[in-house]
Chain A
């Protein structure tokens, strides 16, 4: 135990004084946030007031939707749907089977989707729909500034929460004789690799969490964008994101014989790809995946974090939080176990 604590202290010092960590882990996300803020500032105050939903006449669901303050229900014929969606007169159309038809993606469409999904669930449970207070969960019950720019910030937070991947790779490299000079020395000492790695995971996790906290404080107090209404649930996903990032980094670090630089490139590719699929470069890809490969967004860890931060804070929904948290924990366990399997190989073929 003493060994792990000493390793935590020294690895912590080594990481905290690392210029690349200070830049990429702490400064770069802030630069990104400033960049997003500057680029999308004009879109910051688009409030959601009225969401227009088209619905077929004489359907029971219209009564439910009409009860929600911010939703305007338009009873229309199915033949008019396409035209009204095209003209923007309605944001979405809900058919008799509670299927949602939209022409474009956006915050209004997402909120409608959430409402419809909840209605579906309640109907499946045979609970009375009339008694449900949907509006409490969406926007009106919260002080959240509902606008599409915050979604990008959730994506940014999700991405940087996985930045521990780089510290994970660095830790794995330090402990492997075939990857670093210091690995040769460490492997010649009586220090167990597992202890070094455990300390590395703890340090990388805490340091990245610290970097995340600085970013969040910057967004909240400097950019004055209020992102979190439910700190507890949000914290769970940020913490899990950090843990996932570090453990994935360890896995990439120990699972192959590529050089440290190649492993870092793999990490960059992985995080960018996952962030891209989660909608950081624009919501269209996420919407497209939702439509054609919905499974992908359900298993994409960055999407899980983004979606849940979004749902928890913007929509006030914790519906998928447990599933998302379990999924992230599952990933952590799997990569941890696989890393352990790779680490059991003790001697190297070449150094």
Chain B
């Protein structure tokens, strides 16, 4: 796959605070790249630097193989942006807003009309074309925000947390829409701090923290990078401390946490972890009330790599 965005060692400072600390990122054509990290980790700053909206102190940024500058109008023509905040004209109707932004890229009136109709269809705002944004609900506003960013059918779309403060129904609608956009050959860079979204949507993920790219890869690749490959939660009717301490001897166990009645047993890469635990239970005549296995999540990846929860 062709690399269409290359960010190399970018440093961005806001006075004393470092927002991007030798940040690196690559985006390949046709993928949905998730930029995952906690609030304030530098996701939006990274996007703004890539789009040359923000100046940066050090590093290089190339988009479509060319150095990105504020005057790179030919590159901007191929890019769509869905900003974090709803960014539309309050006194233009839904249709007028979409048509205005489409017109900044598409000169032909007939093509523009078709694109606007398709964008309205895409975000399902047909019944609201004559509404002003202030009359729309939060979810519908978000859809309008998306329509304005994708109406010109860009090759590369940056979406900056488009589902923040959106109800579950609208969120699912937006995520499905992003998949469809990607299916229509758009490359998507998607920032989020929602693990589930990144896991469900993105073909590749860059995890960010404190302005740094911690690690990147597919969900499976990221999970394979950490020591914990499986967690088994078990709750016993009763267990003596001496027996509990013996659980550490089960093959591949790396750590055991006790949370009330629940034992959370962490295993490193290995097979038959569950059957090994069941053998231990039988051997010691233990009775359990619940027992289930959890595969590692991106939060576990983040926790192991940064020492803190993504939701902290």
Contact = CB atoms under 8 A, between A and B. Distances in A.
A291 interface: no
Nearest to B44: A351
B164 interface: no
A185 interface: yes
A14 B54 contact: no
Contact of B87 (A10, A16, A184): A184
Interface in A166-218: 177, 180-182, 184-192
B96 A13 contact: yes
Contacts of A186: 104
B86 A181 contact: yes
A346 B70 contact: yes
A185 B54 contact: no
Contacts of B48: 177, 184, 351
Contact of B53 (A15, A188, A192): A188
Nearest to B79: A188
A180 B86 CA distance: 11
B184 to A, nearest CB: 20
Interface in B45-79: 48, 51-55, 69-71, 73-74, 76-77, 79
B88 interface: yes
B91 A18 contact: yes
A181 B145 CA distance: 11
A240 to B, nearest CB: 28
- Classify the secondary structure of B's interface with A: loop
B280 interface: no
A348 interface: yes
B54 A350 contact: yes
B258 to A, nearest CB: 47
B81 interface: yes
Given A189-B104, A351-B48, A17 B53 contact: no
A299 to B, nearest CB: 36
A6 interface: yes
A15 B53 CA distance: 26
B49 to A, nearest CB: 9
B138 interface: no
Interface in B7-59: 14, 48, 51-55
Contacts of B107: 2
A191 B70 CA distance: 11
B148 A192 contact: no
A6 B92 CA distance: 13
B149 interface: yes
Most chain A beta carbons < 10 A, residue from B48, B51, B105? B48
Given A10-B100, A181-B85, A190 B54 contact: no
Interface string A13-32: 11111100000000000000
B194 interface: no
A216 B270 CA distance: 86
A16 B77 CA distance: 29
From A6, A18, A189, A346, residue with most partner B Cβ within 10 Å: A189
Nearest to B97: A10
A80 interface: no
A190 B87 contact: no
A184 to B, nearest CB: 5
Contact of B104 (A15, A180, A191, A347): A191
Nearest to B74: A190
A180 B52 CA distance: 16
A345 B90 CA distance: 27
Contacts of B149: 185
Contacts of B217: none
Contacts of B70: 187, 346-347
Nearest to B77: A190
Given A10-B92, A184-B87, A350 B14 contact: yes
Nearest to B72: A190
A330 B29 CA distance: 53
Interface in A132-189: 177, 180-182, 184-189
B89 interface: yes
Contact of A190 (B90, B105, B148): B105
A185 B92 contact: no
B52 to A, nearest CB: 6
Given A185-B148, A188-B79, A13 B52 contact: no
A14 B91 contact: yes
A351 B14 CA distance: 10
A185 B105 contact: no
A77 interface: no
A185 B87 contact: yes
A127 to B, nearest CB: 58
A350 B44 CA distance: 11
B70 to A, nearest CB: 3
Contacts of A14: 89-92
Nearest to B13: A349
Contact of A347 (B55, B103, B158): B55
The 9 closest A-B pairs by CB, nearest first: A346-B70, A17-B91, A347-B55, A181-B87, A188-B81, A190-B73, A185-B87, A181-B85, A189-B104
25 contacts: A3-B103, A3-B104, A10-B92, A17-B132, A18-B91, A177-B53, A180-B87, A182-B87, A182-B88, A182-B89, A184-B48, A184-B81, A185-B148, A187-B53, A188-B53, A188-B81, A188-B83, A190-B76, A190-B77, A192-B73, A347-B53, A347-B54, A347-B70, A349-B14, A351-B53
